[in-house]
Amino acid sequence: MKITWYGQASFGLESESGLRIVTDPYDPKTAGFKPFPDEADVIIMSSDNDSFHCNEQLVPKRKGAEVINALTVAQKGGSHESHGVAFKAIEAMEHLQHHEHNPDQNGMYRFTLDGISFGHMGDMGNDFSDEQIDFFRGVDVLLALAGGYPVISIDELKRIIDKTQPKLVIPMHFRTLRYKPRNMFFVSEFLSLFDDKDVDFACDSSAELRKENLPTSTRALIIADL
C-alpha cells in the first residue's frame, strides 16, 4: 500500500486494490499546504469544526465516497464500517489551555488497510489516559502528533510510543517551511526521541508499506515534502 503525507494531520492511504482513505483534511489557504490532488473513497476527520482538520469539501471524491466524523463514531459505540474497512474511535480533547479558543472535543481513530493497522492521534492536546493508551496498543503504524503545543508534548509522545510499541512512528502536525502558523516545533524535536540508526527517511511525501516488511522493533519514518 501507499501512504502520502499531505500536511498537518492529513494523510492519503491507498490500498493495493485502489481504495483511498484521506485523514483530517486541512484548508490549504490557512495551513499553507498544497490542495488535495487525489480522489478519496473515505474521508475520516477527527472533528467537524476545526479548519485544520475537517475540510472534507476540499477533497475530490469518488462516486459513493463517505465522510466519517471520528468524534461521532466514538460517541456512538466506537466503531463504524465503510468500504469494507472498520474504523474504531475514542474521544479526545484539544489542549485545555488552548491559546486560540476554548478547547473542543475530537476523536482519535484506528483502522486496518492491507493487513497493516494504523492509529491516528486526531487533535489530542493532553496527556493520554490509560484507556486512550490501550486504544493504540497493537497498531503497526502510529501517525503521531509531533509538533508539541497545542497538541501533546514531545515527552508525552515518547511515553505513548514506549507504552504502545508500534512498528513504525510517522510524524504529523509539525512545523514545515510551508506551514503558515509558527507555533509548533520542526520535525527535529521528534527526531530527538530516536537514535539515528532507528530513523528512516522516505525523501518524498509518499512511501510504500507492506505488512511483511515492517520492522520488528519501533522505528521512525519521515514522510515529508518540507
- Taking only the tens place, the pLDDT of each residue in 12-70 is 999 999 999 999 999 999 999 999 999 999 999 999 999 999 999 999 999 999 999 99
Rounded CA gap, 8 and 27, in Å?
Answer: 10
Which fold would CATH assign to domain 2-222?
Metallo-beta-lactamase; Chain A (3.60.15)
| Phi, psi angles (nearest 5°) of residue 110 | -145, 155
Provide the mean pLDDT of the chain: 96
DSSP letter assigned to residue 162: H
pTM here? Answer: 0.96
pLDDT reported for residue 99: 64
Closest CA to 214 of 142, 155, 148, 149: 142
Rounded CA gap, 215 and 211, in Å?
Answer: 9
Alpha carbon separation from 61 to 4, 117, 183, 199, 208 (Å, rounded): 17, 24, 32, 34, 23
- Taking only the tens place, the pLDDT of each residue in 169-217 is 999 999 999 999 888 999 999 999 999 999 999 999 999 999 999 999 9
Rounded CA gap, 56 and 7, in Å?
Answer: 14
pLDDT reported for residue 35: 97
pLDDT reported for residue 95: 84
- Taking only the tens place, the pLDDT of each residue in 167-179 is 999 999 999 999 9
pLDDT reported for residue 182: 87
| Domain segments of the chain as ranges | 2-222
DSSP per residue, 32-60: -PPPP-S-EEEEEES-SS-TTT--GGGS-
pLDDT > 90 fraction of the chain, expressed in percent and rounded: 92
| Amino acid, res. 110 | R
Confidence grade of residue 101 (pLDDT, cut at 50, 70, 90): low
